[in-house]
């Protein structure tokens, strides 16, 4: 069983808040980014690697690669899994990735989305994905940074 400490939705994927603040808070030694586009974009990967301390490794996998490879993680790999949106989290959970706790950190506002907190905006597809994750038993919270109090997303669904 892989040691997934936390899964986070952040449409920016890895940046200072994720690469330093959250990784340090969790004690993670590996950040896995599950994203189809970034998995094939070495420029984006190099930019994201700049936001991570030297003691934390990174891996960039497609959603399917994450499903296929996560169970081969070594026992000493303490994994912080980062994804871009809730639909990808549903694919991972339905693909048997053992996600127990989901942190919703940042989902940018765009046309057709409703802002539910200062950093999270959702549309109906996002809400459906969160409801599906709820049914699958995933505990979910909205929290930007570790020292902030969390908000239960279920009141917005």
Q: Which residues are catalytic?
A: 15
The CB-based long-range contact list for 83-87 (8 Å cut-off, 24+ gap) reads: 83/7, 83/8, 83/9, 83/10, 83/33, 83/34, 83/35, 84/9, 84/10, 84/11, 84/13, 84/35, 85/9, 85/11, 85/126, 85/129, 86/9, 86/126, 86/129, 86/130, 86/133, 87/125, 87/126, 87/129
């Amino acid at each position: 069983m892989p040691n997934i400490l936390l899964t986070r939705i952040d449409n920016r994927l890895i940046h200072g808040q994720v690469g330093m603040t959250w990784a340090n808070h969790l004690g993670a030694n590996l950040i896995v980014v599950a994203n189809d586009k970034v998995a094939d974009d070495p420029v984006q990967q190099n930019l994201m690697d700049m936001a991570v301390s030297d003691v934390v490794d990174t891996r960039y996998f497609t959603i399917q690669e994450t499903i296929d490879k996560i169970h081969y993680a070594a026992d000493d790999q303490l994994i912080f899994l980062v994804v871009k949106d809730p639909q990808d989290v549903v694919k991972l959970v339905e693909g048997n990735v053992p996600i127990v706790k989901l942190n919703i950190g940042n989902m940018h506002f765009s046309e057709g989305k409703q802002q539910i907190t200062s950093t999270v905006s959702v549309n109906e597809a996002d809400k459906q994905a969160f409801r599906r994750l709820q049914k699958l038993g995933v505990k979910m919270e909205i929290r930007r940074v570790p020292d902030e109090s969390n908000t239960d997303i279920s009141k917005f669904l």
